[in-house]
């Protein structure tokens, strides 16, 4: 998989690679691997929201982020029937 990174993300990976003496690709792969559960959760929330299952999406989001952040983020979701 090839990734196109913003200049900011590239600079951050380069900085970390320089600091650790490890390849930037290894650092990026490790970060993505650690984020895999969050990416799966975000995909679940998005699927629920786009299917119009708003209450289930908000519950899943609250489980993932906590009630306060879920409330803020749910305002940005493409919830069907609310816009």
- pLDDT tens across 10-33, in order? 999 999 999 999 999 999 999 999
Output the pTM of the full model.
0.64
Q: pLDDT tens digit string along 17-74?
A: 999 999 999 999 999 999 998 889 889 988 988 898 888 888 888 888 777 776 777 6
pLDDT score for 5: 93
* Cα of 33 vs its chain's centroid, Å: 12
- How many Å apart are CA 44 and CA 21, to the nearest integer? 36
Residue (of 60, 62, 55) closest to 45 by Cα position = 60
Q: How far is CA 63 from CA 18, 31, 77, in A?
A: 37, 22, 16
Q: What angle do CA 60, 62, 65 make, to 5 degrees?
A: 110
- How many Å apart are CA 57 and CA 79, to the nearest integer? 9
């Amino acid at each position: 998989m090839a990734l196109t990174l913003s200049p900011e993300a590239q600079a951050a990976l380069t900085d970390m690679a320089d600091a650790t003496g490890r390849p930037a690709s290894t650092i990026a792969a490790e970060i993505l691997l650690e984020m895999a559960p969050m990416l799966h959760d975000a995909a679940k929330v998005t699927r629920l929201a786009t299917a119009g299952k708003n209450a289930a999406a908000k519950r899943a989001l609250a489980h993932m982020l906590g009630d306060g952040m879920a409330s803020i983020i749910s305002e940005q979701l493409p919830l069907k029937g609310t816009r």
